[in-house]
Amino acid sequence: MPEPSRHDESGTVETRAEIFARLADVPLDEVDKVIGRTEDAYADLNGVRGHDYWGDLVLRQGAAVRALREAREALAALQAEAVGARNAELGVLVATGVLDGQRRYAHDDTSKAELVDWLLSAEGGRASVLHVWDRPHVDDESAGPYLQIRAVVDAETRCGALVFTEEGDDGELTSWHTHAPLPLPSSPELRFDAGSALIFPGNAVVSWEAVRSGLAEFARTGACPESVSWQAARWSQP
């Protein structure tokens, strides 16, 4: 069983969360400044083009920028892992909402409720996505949480549908969408996203309250919501 704390050099007892917080305090801004100044030097080199040392200087300048960018990437990865470790130690789950290419983050109950309201403000059949992880999910191109919920709502009829997706140990994705045991009367045609050919079945459309409840529970627990019913995902096409 790991020790819950250790003594720092001053003799003060330091918790694991505090250690992780210090690890997360990496000087990314300072590295960005150094990269910028090193790149700016290239313009100065153009002023001495043709000098005997010009080619070697350009070569070294390029190598320096590449090394600095690699260092910055490594520091950013360290920061992300340290933030995740600190939050896991404190039992903090971070909710990341994505709507219209924008990202918002929430760490506590109040901000998570505001985040859910923002996700429900999607118009025109546009989908929103909610991630819950031990850190902010800042980039879809990098590794991220293995669970997410996608929401599509119709504000006029006050209903919508959720898609819960998880990634298995083999990397395969499995999805479920909401299930309404009693389909709503005259429920609208909801698509996977605006312009998508995929249409939710009628019994996947649930009330506005159910959509809100599912999103709020997921933001709070990071687990598949039990406040709504689910069925294996399937879509039709026009």
In the DSSP assignment, the letter for residue 135 is S
pLDDT at 92: 93
pTM, full prediction: 0.80
Q: By CB neighbour count within 10 A (0-12 exposed, 13-18 middle, 19+ buried), where does 237 fall?
A: exposed
pLDDT at 12: 55
d(CA 182, CA 159): 14
pLDDT at 6: 56
pLDDT at 1: 39
- pLDDT, mean of each 10-residue run, the chain (238 residues): 50 77 92 92 83 90 94 93 91 94 95 97 90 91 85 91 88 90 81 86 92 97 95 80
Residue 236 phi/psi, 5-degree rounding, is -110, 170
Residues contacting residue 76 through CB under 8 Å, at least 6 positions apart: 26, 28
How far out from the chain centre does Cα 122 lie? 18
pLDDT at 66: 95
Residue with tokens 């709504």: 228
Instruction: Report the candidate in 160, 182, 173 with the shortest Cα–Cα distance to residue 232.
Output: 173
